[in-house]
Amino acid sequence: MTTLLVPTPAETAAPAAPARRPSRVWRILGYLALAAAGAVVLLPFYWMVLSSLKGNNDVFTIPVQWITTDPVWSNYADIWSRSNMSTWLGNTVVLSAVVTMLQVLTGSFAAYGFAKIRFPGRDVLFLAYIGTLAVPWQSYMVPQFVMMTKLQLTDSLWSIVALQAFGALGVFMMKQFYETVPDELLDAARIDGMSEYGIYRRIMLPLSVPALASLTLITAVTTWNDYMGPLIYLRSPDLWTIQIGLKSFISQYNAEYALIMTGSVLSVLPIVVVFLLGQRYFVEGIATTGLKG
């Protein structure tokens, strides 16, 4: 097959042959496409921030004003008194922290059992985990609600903890990572008399910091953004998370466009910060869990 020809180093190194270099036209087209795609992705976010800094009557104007000369910063002060933003944000922070901690702990713990200890029945159990990854949550949310009702967890923050903390994703993701750790390393530790729990804590956990970081970020963001769980389970307003609170604020003040956008910015801001800080782990987490399936 001609496609298997290995190029000589000269061919790959020398950009001299003009035909092989992307021509200037292609390059310019590439940048144009990049700029267009960038605009499509970013303009909605820009619109959100811009509108949050406008007076309410200036949000919808013809033609659209793409810059504002005197930003209305007071929107960011008013939102706290017009809504229960601080309660919602507080609940969401607590939930995200608890869920993430539990998911990372129990997930990585179980993943070690699945990846590094041989015992009968292990593979069947793992198959159950994998199998449910393919079942859409929407199709079992009703029986799940019945279970939660029986456990008397509805209308408490614990329902969301229970809902999110024991997902199959964490187990799956950590197992993928643990399998890349060579068995010889663990056997050496076993011969030295270390227990399996010791190996998990002193060898596996330190080795898997990048994977743990990915799982932490993904779980935290998922919990922060979850809308359906809180919608189904949290009835009392003082338990609401930011997503439910924001949605109710939108329905209540549906003409206060500027304030609605202010609330939206505040609900997105923590995610932006987390994402910018840990972008590398996000991308790695997505790429590894995504492609092994």
Q: Where are the alpha helices (DSSP H) in the chain?
A: 9-13, 24-52, 75-82, 85-116, 122-133, 137-150, 157-165, 168-178, 183-191, 196-199, 205-207, 209-225, 228-233, 242-252, 257-291
277 binds another protein (CB under 8 A): no
What is the Cα–Cα distance from 247 to 146, expressed in whole angstroms? 25
Closer Cβ to another protein, 112 or 177, answer by number: 112
Closer Cβ to another protein, 135 or 188, answer by number: 135
76 binds another protein (CB under 8 A): no
- Amino acid 267 reads S
42 binds another protein (CB under 8 A): yes
Q: How far is the CB of 114 from another protein (least distance, A)?
A: 7
Return the residues of window 1-20 that contact another protein according to CB under 8 A. Answer: 2-7, 11-12, 20
Segment lying near another protein (by CB under 8 A), choices 35-43, 68-76, 79-87, 177-185 = 35-43
Contact 75, 259 (CB under 8 A): yes
Return the residues of window 136-195 that contact another protein according to CB under 8 A. Answer: 136-148, 151, 162-163, 165-168, 170-171, 190
> Radius of gyration (Cα) for the chain, nearest Å?
25
Q: How far is the CB of 209 from another protein (least distance, A)?
A: 19
Instruction: Work out which of 130, 135, 185, 277 binds another protein, going by CB under 8 A.
Output: 135
Closer Cβ to another protein, 71 or 194, answer by number: 194
Number of residues that bind another protein (CB under 8 A): 105
Q: Which of 167, 178, 166 is closest to 114 using CA atoms?
A: 178
What is the Cα–Cα distance from 157 to 93, expressed in whole angstroms? 12
